[in-house]
Structure 1
Amino acid sequence: MDVVSSIRPPLPDLVIHQILQILPTKADVRMSFLSKQWDGVWCSTPVLDFDEGDDPGKYDNDHIDLNKILEHRKFINVVEKWLEFCEQEQQKQVFLNKFRLRMMRYVPGDYGSIDKCLSYVFERNVKELDISLRISRLFWGFSWQIQFGFDYCISRTTLANAKTLTVLKLEYVRIKNHRLTKKKRRKTPRLLPNLKTMYLKNVHFDELAPFYLILECPSIQDLSLTSCHCENSEFDVSSSSLKSLEIEHCDSRIIYVDEAKNLESFTVSSNSSLLEKITLIECSNLKYINVHAEHLKRLTVSGHDCLKGTINTPNLVTFGFEGFSKSKILVKAPNLKVTRVFLSELRDRDVLGFNGSFRHFSTLRDFLENIGFSKRIVLYVRNYKALLFPEDFRKNFSSPLYGVKHLVVVMPNSQKEVSDIPEFRHALGWMAPSTNQLSLGEENHQQFLAHCSLVGL
């Protein structure tokens, strides 16, 4: 007779289910040893959390620890016991809200068990999936896949039935390129149609894998990449649904974000000497940007009319911005050589403000002062009146581009004649009083983008 039944009558099944839903999975497994009535019931709970639970410092060494190997085997046995229950017909009707599997001593021999786990959780319509497979250091260097601790590979086949996922967290895995031809893409359903949030940490991407993975997520809103690596050293993101993008300490040379019309927040933090270039194009709703990148050389940003942000890039050489002067961007880049700014001010009422106030000019002056640290500044304006600072304003406010040596103002071809207006020349002279070279040019928006491309912005 088991321990529990010898003490009191068995509890109703409903009560047991409620108790097990409150407890973590590890405790549920222990409870199953108390009574046959409890045995296997934990397998039916809507939240499963298999956590090997070790501090990396306790196992991350080169010598073989038999105790750790045995502990890992016991952990795998618990996972495989759950897989056995999943084979039962009644278990196939149980839905999963969340499934978490965290291994700290993963070995290549566990590959088959992981495949089965993912197959079963997708069959049970899992909503949140959290997988971390840190490989045992004893296997590092056995092949090129696992020389840096990556072995388990996420392919199209892996995610073929992941239709119900809304949250995906992956750590210490490798992701293949999910690319399809245009013809197949039109006929093939997306892999992750309902995914809203994706966190990737210590993930190794095949070449172009980030770009094609995002294409499989038409509903994604939040994407976080931490300490990830891509074979071609380029993170290319294009998504019309994405709202938040965070990239921290990733091994990349280029970050390129294009046609992310709903992107609101963009954050990059990197000390990597590889990161040279960040480009955000067609991000018309971008409201917040925070870039801290020690070795970044080139940055191009297009954003919302009220974009706010901080750019702390001590080695930045070129900076391009497209947007409105209402944006509040603080640029800390002491080595900046060239700044290109396309100002989108269009209408006279925006320039003059209501009741003829200096609101626009005060905003523009502050904007130019925050970005005006480079030796050469190129301003693209749609309307010359945007820079026609009134005389009374110039008398009461300091110059925003005091240290600029070369100022270039570029306007549409139709406004060429304004270069001869004395008041306009006086306004430009006040803006950059230290300049030894003042130029007026003719270009359009497409030429601005082409220039950014040519100079590597």
Structure 2
Amino acid sequence: MGQQMRPAKMLKLLESGQRIPVMDGSEQQDVHAALNDEEGKDRISSLPDCILHYILSFLPTKEAVATGILARRWKDLWTAVPILDFDDSKLYSSHVNYWYPAEITRFMNFVERVLLLRDVSNIERFRLSCRVCFSASRVHAWISAAIRHNVKELDLCFFVDEPFLLPHRVFNCGSLSILNVEMNSIIQLPNSISCPGLRILHLGLVTFPDDISTQRLLSSCPVLEELAILDCDWINMRHISISIPSLRKLIIDDLPTFDSRAYCWGCEIKIDAGSLIFFKYSGYLSNDIHLIEVSSSVKALLHIPMVQEAQNPLMYSRLIKLFLQLKNVSSLGISGCTIESLFFREKMPNDLPEFQKLTRLELSMQLGVHCGGALMKFLLHLPNLESLNISKATLWHL
């Protein structure tokens, strides 16, 4: 039998943000007893629906649905839970490369049951992580259902065997505030895009289709504040302009490997964001980063592990160019290998500027053999430095 939990203890767990344990079917009587105080009054069930919906939002969706069997009061509460989270990763064995058809069917049926039985209330957050190869049409329908419920945050993580077309409504959703798409495929974009309320956009592992449609996406987010482009493939791109006046945070993590053509040319990424306060770049400079008028209010983080690649004149010129564009920042975080790449020739780069406004420097402790000398050379370019923080933390993993 499970351990009984008094209402006071349950409320304390809720206030602390901890997960409330959900009992097995054999322990349902204990759950019922736990929800009643010494006088036999069910304090939890007497709370308003909005509070109970908030409580259920802390549970995994599967467990939130299971609370419907606790009592008549709880029967339909889960149909209005503001957060839905579906993840099929538990269906796969970590030892062998196969999945279980029966479990997959149960997973898909469960997702559809939750969406079909849902009431008319809006969805705050919808997260879906699954293999699309099982049934792309059903996955498409699930996303569309979330959009019909005026979803505010859409988090999609897909493993695909062939290109998967996201519903066009994803890119024309007026209620959407946060969009996260992680998918090992070309992201096919519609001809018409309108994201009037989108504040945060994260793209991971996607392959950009071409200059025009990608530019259309970035130009259709007038209030975007945060943009993260993580391990995406730019091979089809030549020029892109990130010109978003409202943008405050920009993260670009380039792929560690790239096509030989991309190595020679890559994509020219022009960044013009007057409100920017945070910029992070991690990669091999296979693309040409062009920052326009970076202010002193920007905090920049750089991780460029290209000591060997720095022997390539094009790559090295891009490295120097990036430092030139960041000369006005007041706070800079860099990895040890970035310093080594900068001074790999064991002499002072002629074009390296003085960072007159830089007062704070953060450096990771992952230092190579030559990093100490390279750091001393770099410090000569920081005449107004006030704080130097050398730590074991990897500054670029945010």
Out of 154, 158, 161, the residue aligned to residue 129 of structure 1 is 154
| 2:331 counterpart of 1:308 | yes
2:166 is the alignment partner of 1:166 = no
5 Å matches for 1:224-235? 224-232=228-236
Q: CA RMSD in A?
A: 4.3
Query: Following TM superposition, by how much is the alpha carbon of 1:75 offset from its aligned partner in structure 2, in angstroms?
Result: 0.8
- Higher strand content, 1 or 2: 1
Which of the residues 205, 210, 219 maps onto 2:208? 205
CA contact (8 A) 2:156 2:180 kept: yes
Query: Which residue number corresponds to residue 58 of structure 1?
Result: 94
Asked whether the 8 Å contact 1:303–1:323 carries over to 2, the reply is no
User: Which residue of structure 2 lines up, in the alignment, with residue 258 of structure 1?
Assistant: 271
Identity %: 25
Deviates more, 1:70-79 or 1:210-219: 210-219
Distance 1:20 1:267, change over 3 A: closer
Partner of 1:73: 105
Residue 376 of structure 1 corresponds to none
| Superposed displacement of residue 234, structure 1 | 5.7
| CA deviations over 1:352-371 (Å, ceiling 9, x no partner) | xxxxxxxxxxxxxx999328
Query: Against the structure 1 CA distance between its residues 117 and 292, is the aligned structure 2 distance closer, same or farther, given a 3 Å change threshold?
Result: same
Amino acid at match of 1:152: F
Aligned ranges 1:364-443 → 2 under 5 Å:
369-370=380-381
Paired with 1:255 and 1:288, the residues of 2 have a C-alpha distance of 22
Cα distance in 2, alignment partners of residues 224 and 176 from structure 1: 15
Alpha-carbon shift at residue 54 of structure 1 (Å): 2.8
Against the structure 1 CA distance between its residues 163 and 320, is the aligned structure 2 distance closer, same or farther, given a 3 Å change threshold?
A: farther
Contact 1:152/1:173 (<8 A) preserved: no
User: In 2 relative to 1, CA 118–255 (structure 1 residues): closer, same or farther, beyond 3 Å?
Assistant: same
Taking the aligned partners of 1:210 and 1:333, their CA distance within structure 2 comes to: 38
Alignment partner of 2:63 out of 20, 23, 27: 27
Q: Please give the alpha-carbon distance, in whole angstroms, between the structure 1 residues aligned to 2:287 and 2:369.
A: 16
1:89-238 superposed matches below 5 A:
91-92=119-120, 94-103=121-130, 106-135=131-160, 140=161, 146=162, 151-154=163-166, 157-172=168-183, 174=185, 176=187, 178=189, 191-208=194-211, 209-232=213-236, 236=240, 237-238=242-243
Deviation for aligned residue 1:60: 6.5
Give the superposition deviation at 1:122: 1.8
TM-score, normalization by structure 1: 0.55
Between the aligned partners of 2:114 and 2:350, the Cα distance in structure 1 is 55
Contact 2:165 2:188 in 1 (8 A): no
Q: Aligned pair 1:326/2:331, yes or no?
A: no
CA distance in 1, matches of 2:169, 2:350: 41
Counterparts of residues 436-451 of structure 1 (less than 5 Å): none
Matched residue, 2:15? none
Are residues 167 and 323 of structure 1, via their aligned partners in 2, closer, same or farther at CA, if it must alter by over 3 Å? farther
Q: Does 1:283 align with 2:287?
A: no
Distance 1:18 1:305, change over 3 A: closer
Cα pair 2:355 2:382 within 8 Å, conserved: no
Structure 2: which amino acid aligns with 1:212?
R
TM-score (norm 2): 0.62
From 78, 81, 88, the equivalent of 1:42 is: 78
Q: 5+ unaligned residues in a row in structure 2: which ranges?
A: 1-24, 34-40, 310-314, 371-376, 384-398
Residues in 2 aligned to 1:225 and 1:162: alpha-carbon distance in whole angstroms = 21
Show the 5 A alignment for 1:350-369: 369=380
Q: Does 1:243 align with 2:248?
A: yes
**Mapped partners of 1:213, 1:113: distance in 2:** 25
Letter in 2 for 1:120: A
Distance 1:17 1:329, change over 3 A: closer
SS in 2 for 1:204: coil
Go from structure 1 to structure 2 and tell me whether the alpha carbon gap of 1:57 and 1:321 turns closer, same or farther (over 3 Å shift): farther
1:98, distance to aligned residue in structure 2 (A): 1.0
Q: Deviation at 1:33? A: 5.1
